[in-house]
Structure 1
Amino acid sequence: MATKKLYENFSKTLIEEVHKWGCMKQTGVSLRYMLDFGLVPSDRNMIIAAQFLHKELPIRIARRAIELESLPYGLSEKPAVLKVRDWYLDSFRDLRSFPDIKSINDEREFTQMIKLIKVRHNNVVPAMALGVQQLKKTLDPKLEYEDLDEIQQFLDRFYMSRIGIRMLIGQHVAVHDPNTPPNCIGIIHAKMSPTQVAKDASEDARSVCLREYGSAPDINIYGDPSFTFPYVPAHLHLMVFELVKNSLRAVQEQYMNTDKIAPPIRIIVADGEEDVTIKISDEGGGIARSGLPSIFTYLYSTAINPLSDQSDISDDIVTMAGYGYGIPISRLYARYFGGDLQIISMEGYGTDAYLHLSRLGDSQEPLP
């Protein structure tokens, strides 16, 4: 059935080309490379960057499109997943039908096109989440989540690749923006203060908590606000927001119906030689040791997908529980630039999340 659908919307030649490009080697870039390259946004550099993307993006997109065709347990046939696969094939076709980039005008047109591709893919995560939910409805409830490890690994690869594609497009588009804040090269901030970003992200998370519960625990941040290093503030904001949101929820639910005062959440920003580490500690009762592995899976969430079965997939729904992808996706963002996310819990007391960010900026993108 899936193959039939595939050929209905797309020509056989296109599908053959996707398979050809999907076999080519991907080229990873480092944060430092993107930073250095964006420092001099001369016409020549912009053309070179666009030529690189013109060849690199179709390879990465083709690989994902091929993987979307052959997922286990019939996940490929789920309507939401078919929709995602069509977005990938459309984007591949757009990139491949764009002529070679020879002048700055070509480069500008190319930049407009990849901007549209990024928008087309805005809702990939909620759509895949919906596909997984559609799948879970049809699976044998006795199936252990360990048995679904193949899907878990696929989603890790798929989302990691998506972070890379969005980073490359986002960086190229942002270098053109005349209103870039000082010290920003594209979406990379050469002098980002992790303490300031943690403060902004935790305030955002706290306002979501206030909106949902009517009250929210305090958040205390310890760290030198004047300390800076090069990183992508949007990535850090997303990770801290997710972790703090989880801590707020745990503490809030632990203390909601008691007359005790909810203990504050503590955020510590440490500046090491190799890593900047942000530790987020709560006293929200912790997670049982047996439950820890499941916080990194995409199949576990007890939260209702805010999309449920709506056909209209919108990206800006932030609920306290989301669709349960905050933690595994935050770990991918951390790993994308050579960092990591670890969660250590004391059942009956609370949880500590350690967010490690590599300061060296030299690690190559992990290419799934």
Structure 2
Amino acid sequence: MLQSTIRFARLGNKSLLTRPFFCSSITGNRHTTHAHHLKHNKAAINLSHLDFQAYYKIRSNIELLIQDYSRKPIPPLSYKFLTEYQKPLSQTEKYNLAIKTINQLISLTCRQLSLIQNLPYIVLLNPKINQINSLYLKTLESLLSITFPYDLYKNDLILSLLNHLNEEHNDTLLVLSDGLKEINNELLSNEAISKFLDVHIRDRITMKLIILNHLALLSPKTEPDMIGIIHKRVKISQFINQTFEFVNDLCQLKFNLPMSTTGNSSMITYITGEEIEFPCIPVILEYVLTEILKNSMKAHIENDVTKPIEISIFETDSDELTVRIRDYGGGIDPKIEPKIFQYSFSTTLDSTFSKIHEENNGNQRETDSVIGSCQNDSSVPQLMMPGEVENNTISGMGYGLPLCKNYLELFDGDITIQNLWGLGTDVYIKVKGPNKSLLADRK
């Protein structure tokens, strides 16, 4: 472990903060020193007393820190990483987990900052893009505020920090989406935006999952079937039913339909695999199912289809699951079919969720209380990613299917769509689960 110091400049109020900083190589034990790090234990000073050269040096040091840590190799998020620790954790395990979590988050935050700051300067001037950049700078400052090694033993402090970071990034994707839509194609092409979003969203999801896994491992709640955010045996049909209840409520709200008294039985039917249980990350499966079922339900309502949505569940391997969702909503117009996995492409012009959000003056908690959430079940704890499941269901943002693909591909899964224009669509959701050896009780 390397102990060094960085002074983190907050340019808005021209104050300079001294922050202890620690980091070791994520892929090995070799410690590296960084010449651009400033010396240890200097008091905070006022930047207004510095000349231009000294002020420029401070800014350069921050930029060098971001560039340095954004280049550090970070192994892809894996089930092995997520299952390394199991409850109950010893003090040593909590300490080691805190080191790994903070180090990973620092590198990922620097990668996000480097990615954003490499956009054309005129793009960074967009208020919403700049807001995202400022948020990640603030996140970096928060992470660097952890004092090595003493703060790493303070579990309450680490949990408070992670909860705060998770909450701060709740609605960033919606803000970023709005900002990118305001950018002229001459400044940033659609291809460049797609490349940017692929990297940004992948790293954002990784950060969220790392934070949620840490919070779950340190939660006092005892859940024998959970290892962090991984559920050992999700009954897939039951999980689909819960998600469909949520989607059904959304559709009733959007299309002003009377409340159903027959439940899910008349709207979805299972062809095979209703009894299958499978280990997975519920928050990822919930996100994907919500998006696909929302699209299918919407198509059925708009086309007055009474035939139920058909669901087939196949366990194609010990660690691979395929869910096929078949609807009869008329299919996808061949003219737009090639665009359905493009960011910001949408066939919807309005948004019930957006209207509710606006009516609550942008207060996400009040919005949540209006629209509700998936029904909780003790056998399948809901670790919903705030600001993502909600945004996922906002028709018209255009990120639904690309986000589904990003979530699934993070763990070698996939999503494919077979379209029969005039009849309906088959959506195949392939989920890769953890190897059973990783789920064995090691306590």
Please say whether Structure 1 and Structure 2 have the same fold, judged by a TM-score greater than 0.5: yes
Q: CA 1:318/1:169 → structure 2, altered by over 3 Å: closer, same or farther?
A: closer
Q: Which of residues 226, 248, 253 in structure 2 aligns to 1:184?
A: 226
| Aligned: 1:286 with 2:331 | yes
Distance 1:319 1:185, change over 3 A: closer
Aligned length: 346
- Equivalent residue for 2:200? 158
Residue 314 of structure 2 contacts residue 321 of structure 2 at CA under 8 Å; is this kept in 1?
yes
- 2:48 match: none
Q: Which amino acid aligns with 1:196?
A: Q
Q: Is it true that 1:168 corresponds to 2:213 in the alignment?
A: no
Structure 2 counterpart of 1:33: 81
Q: Deviations over 1:116-143 (max 9, x none)?
A: 11111111111111112222xx447xx9
Cα deviation digits, residues 141-177 of structure 1 (max 9, x gap): xx9x9x5111112112111111110000110011111
Deviations 1:232-256 (A, max 9, x none): 112111110110000111121122x
TM-score normalised to the size of structure 1? 0.84
Task: Please tell me whether the aligned partners of residues 79 and 131 of structure 1 are also in contact (alpha carbons under 8 angstroms).
Answer: yes
Q: Decide which of 190, 193, 198 is 1:148's aligned counterpart.
A: 190
Q: Which residue of 1 aligns with 2:37?
A: none
Q: Please tell me whether residue 270 in structure 1 is matched to residue 314 in structure 2.
A: yes
Alignment partners' CA distance in 2, 1:54 and 1:319: 31
Say if 2:95 and 2:153, in contact at 8 Å, map to a contact too: no
Equivalences for 1:169-248 in 2 at 5 Å? Answer: 169-213=211-255, 214=257, 218-248=267-297
Contact 1:126 1:313 in 2 (8 A): no
Distance 1:299 1:9 in 2: 36
Higher relative contact order, structure no. (Cα contacts within 8 Å, ≥ 6 residues apart): 1
After superposition, residues 62-101 of structure 1 pair within 5 angstroms as: 62-71=110-119, 74-101=122-149
Deviation at 1:313, TM superposition (A): 7.1
Matches within 5 A, 1:285-364: 285-301=330-346, 302-304=348-350, 312=362, 314=364, 315=387, 316=390, 321-361=395-435
- Structure 1 residues 231 and 102: alpha-carbon distance in aligned structure 2, compared to 1, 3 A threshold: farther
- Once the 2 structures are TM-superposed, how far is the Cα of residue 9 of structure 1 from its aligned partner? 6.6
Listed one character per residue, the Cα deviations across residues 205-238 of structure 1 (whole Å, up to 9, x for unaligned) are 1111122221687111344454322211121111
Structure 1 CA distance for aligned equivalents of residues 330 and 120 of structure 2: 36
Unaligned segments of structure 2, at least 5 residues: 1-9, 15-57, 261-265, 365-386, 437-443
Secondary structure of residue in 1 paired with 2:89: coil
Q: Secondary structure at the match of 2:72?
A: coil
User: Per-residue deviation at 1:304?
Assistant: 4.3
Residues 71 and 151 of structure 1 are in contact (CA less than 8 Å); yes or no, is this contact kept in structure 2?
A: no
- What whole-Å deviation, never above 9, does each CA across 1:34-81 have from its counterpart, x for those lacking one? 124234522211111111122111111111111112225944332111
**Amino-acid identity (%):** 23
Structure 1 residues 320 and 99, CA gap change in structure 2 (3 angstroms): closer
| Contact map agreement 1:54 1:95 (CA 8 A) in 2 | yes
**3-state DSSP class of the match of 1:252?**
helix
The alpha-carbon distance between structure 1 residues 266 and 180, as it changes in their structure 2 partners (threshold 3 A), is: farther
Rg comparison, structure with higher value: 2
Show CA shifts across 1:54-112 (max 9, x none): 21111111111111122259443321111111111111111123112457633432232
Q: Check 1:16–1:304 CA distance in 2 against 1; reply closer, same or farther (3 A cut).
A: farther
Secondary structure (helix, strand or coil) at the match of 1:173 reads helix
Deviation, structure 1 residue 284: 0.9
Structural mapping, 1:244-263, within 5 Å: 244-255=293-304, 261-263=305-307
Q: Take 2:231 and 2:254, find their aligned partners in 1: how far apart are those partners?
A: 32
Structure 2 counterpart of 1:31, one-letter code: Y
Select the structure that is richer in helix. Answer: 1
Q: TM-score, normalised by structure 2?
A: 0.71
